[in-house]
Amino acid sequence: MAPSLIRSPVQLSPAEALALSQQAPVVLQSSPSTVSSSALGSLFSAAEKPELWIQYENLIISCLRAGDDRAAQECHDRLAARFGNNDRVKALGGLIKEAQAQNNGELDKILKEYDQMLEENNTNLPIMKRRIALLRSMGRLSDAGSALVQLLDFSPTDSEAWSELSDLYFSQGLYPQAIYAMEEVLILVPNAWNVHARLGELQYMAATASGATGGPYQKQMAEAIKRFSRSIELCDDYLRGYYGLKLVTKRLLKDNAKPAKQTDDEDFSLPDSNTIERLNELATAKLAEIVRHSSAQDRGWRGYDAAEVAAARELLSEDAPSGIER
């Protein structure tokens, strides 16, 4: 079954995007091509549903992905007919142009158009975001970074932009900055369990990237444990959280390193090996349970992503021989 059209399609797999884009003709046919915004008109035509516009937006993205430019243009036209020259609609129009651009010259032209729009109104958030995405797509990372920082300067509560900044730094290997930006997201949405898990992953990668096992390594591993634990605390049976926890504790147990003598910074010292051992056991048990239920397609366990379950199974099977050795 194709995923819901209400949800954002960015993170879907190609197969799911294809299934969504194939729904486009049905959606376009079943809903009226123009919806009157006047009070009198709405008495006679079909009721206007806010979901419809979200569906159109999401359809544009999945249709562009699947190469169905005509359907995407149709969705955009309908949005434009309803909302006129709205900033968001303009950004979607730019998205369609970006997708159809053949060479760098055309991309430059689109970039100039964005710049022009921003000159008229330099607080146009959707266009600013498109411009940053386009800069990044063209490989001009530092330009994208500075534009993003500028955006965050006047709109510091935009969690999506902070997350983009974190991802941008991460792609350049600047872990401390990426972690800082993600922590900003966490200040804005303290209960987002996936952000906690993401931060844990960043900490883990930062710790293991250098290869050293000194003070910063242990501090970052301790942070990672904390972040993963919090994500599990906020969400029962969170596959990603348990996966991360298992990864971190496994590595720490393999290191078998004694906690460094860190008395100055109590918040970030590693827990003792006994606790790590128990965390590892807990994560292993939970992962095994999730994998078992999910592969049996038990009722109430079908929400997990198949790829994530497969990764967890692999992690567990890696673990099995080493468990016998011990």
Q: Which residues are near other proteins by CB under 8 A?
A: 4, 6-11, 14-15, 17-18, 51, 61, 64-67, 91, 95, 98-99, 101, 126, 129-130, 132-133, 136-137, 159-161, 163-164, 167, 185, 189, 191-195, 198, 233-239, 289, 293, 299-304
Instruction: Provide, rounded to whole angstroms, the least separation between the CB of residue 125 and other proteins.
Output: 8
User: What is the C-alpha to C-alpha distance for residues 20 and 23, in angstroms, rounded to an integer?
Assistant: 5
Q: Compute the distance between CA of residue 207 and CA of residue 217 in angstroms, rounded to an integer.
A: 5
Tell me the closest approach of the beta carbon of residue 121 to other proteins, in angstroms: 17
Contact status, residue 235 vs residue 183, Cβ threshold 8 Å = no
* Beta-strand runs (E) in the chain: none
Between 45 and 191, name the residue whose CB sits nearer to other proteins.
Answer: 191
Residues in contact with 206: Cβ distance below 8 Å, sequence separation at least 6, in sequence order: 175, 176, 178, 179, 220
237 vs 319, beta carbon nearer other proteins: 237
Which is closer to other proteins, CB of 126 or CB of 271? 126
Please state the separation of Cα 100 from the chain's center in Å.
Answer: 24
Q: Toward other proteins, which CB reaches closer, 83 or 301?
A: 301
CB within 8 Å of 293: residues ≥ 6 apart: 301
Dist CA 147 CA 133 (whole Å): 10
Smallest gap from residue 280 Cβ to other proteins (A) = 16
Closest distance of CB 272 from other proteins, Å? 23
Q: How near is the Cβ of 255 to other proteins at its closest, in Å?
A: 29
Per-residue tokens: 38: 């006047």
The answer to whether 136 and 120 are in contact (CB under 8 A) is: no
108 versus 233: smaller Cβ distance to other proteins: 233
